[in-house]
Amino acid sequence: MKLLIADDEPLARQRLRDLLGDIGGHEILGEASDGREACEKAATLEPDAVILDIAMPVLDGLEAARHLAELPSPPAVIFCTAYDEHALAAFEAHAVDYVVKPIRAERLAAALTRAERFRHGPAPAGSLPAARRSHLSARMRGALRLIPVHDIRYLQAEEKYVVVHHARGEDLVEDSLKSLETEFGDRFLRVHRNCLVATDQIKELARETDGREIVRLRDDPAHLEVSRRCLPGVRQRLKAL
């Protein structure tokens, strides 16, 4: 099988390389040192399986597994971790196996056998854990870009997509505006039926010369219209900030 190794510890990645060399029969496509890098590399390298640590910076392994499951050809996920308290969450995230460090060659070989079976009959989608995400995933031309939620300035619905305006530019995501409002309602404020704004980005509520109410942002030149329906809620929310 084609494999991707993801662990923030270089020695742990080398240990896995050595074990896989002893086991034989597998190709290591690359390595990642955090969950976001693992997702982005998996989208471009298309491994059959990802050997994934849980406690990693930027994006932990459990959330990374959720993003990996959304890829067009999701890889099997094998968690390798020093802790056993995440086992239930790991299997809810459709991991094919959960290996506790220090890893033995025979135990890793058994996990790879499970991953091989996954390739011929992957687990059904739809029961991933509902924990709130720290990143949104945007797919573009075969690549995956993970956008930190704290970098998002506002979200606008546009046909069947949502445009995410963030610190590094714009991306399209397939989440609905309603689902994003439900998941991140404490962070984003609805100002229009097609727009959510990060509350910490709102500089002021103002009235234009034509009578329209708008919000101006701290780090973005956009002037976003506030609908009459949303205006009372916007005023109430801003008073509480």
Domains of the chain: 2-120 (3.40.50.2300), 147-240 (2.40.50.1020)
- How confident is the model over 96-106, as a mean pLDDT? 91
The average confidence (pLDDT) of the chain is 89
Q: Phi-psi region for residue 22, left (φ > 0), alpha (ψ -120 to 50) or beta? A: alpha
In whole angstroms, give the CA distance from residue 201 to residue 206: 14
Closest CA to 20 of 5, 6, 32, 8: 5
For residue 162, pLDDT beyond 60: yes
| Torsion angles phi and psi, residue 192, rounded to 5 | -160, 160
179 to 62, 92, 194: CA distances (angstroms): 20, 21, 13
Instruction: Look up residue 94 and give its two tokens.
Output: 């459709």
Instruction: Check: pTM over 0.75? Answer yes or no.
Output: no
- Highest mean pLDDT among 48-52, 53-57, 85-89, 123-127 belongs to 48-52
pLDDT of residue 127: 43
